[in-house]
Amino acid sequence: MQLFIYLIVYPFLWFLSKLPFRLLYLFSDFVYLIVYYIIGYRKKTVRENLALALPNLSDAERMIIEKKSFHHLCDMFLEMIKTMSISKKEISQRFVFTNLEVYQKLEEQDKSIAMMVAHYASYEWVISMNSYIKFNGYAIYKKIVNPYFDKLVRSIRARFKANLITTKKTIQYITKNKKNNLLSLYGFASDQTPKLATTFHWQKFMGIEVPVHTGAEMLSKKYDMNVIFLKVKKVKRGYYEASFEILSENTKEVPNYEITDKYLKLVEQEIYEAPEFYLWTHNRWKHRR
pLDDT tens track for 18-49: 999 999 999 999 999 999 999 999 999 999 99
Residues 106, 229: contact at Cβ < 8 Å?
no
Give me the mean pLDDT over the 236-264 stretch.
97
What's the mean pLDDT when you consider all of the chain?
95
Mean pLDDT computed over 240-264: 97
Residues 6+ apart with CB under 8 A from 193: 210, 211, 282, 283, 284, 285, 286, 287
User: Is residue 160 within 8 Å of 128, Cβ to Cβ?
Assistant: yes
Q: What pLDDT score does 226 carry?
A: 98
What's the predicted TM-score (pTM) here?
Answer: 0.94
pLDDT value at 2 more than 90: no
Q: Residue 211 is which amino acid?
A: P
**Mean pLDDT value of segment 189-211:** 93
Amino acid 125: pLDDT: 95
Res 276 pLDDT > 90: yes
**CA distance linking residue 52 with residue 46, whole number of Å:** 10
As to burial, measured by CB atoms within 10 angstroms (0-12 exposed, 13-18 middle, 19+ buried), residue 7 is exposed
| Cβ-contact 157, 164 below 8 angstroms | yes
pLDDT at residue number 107 = 96
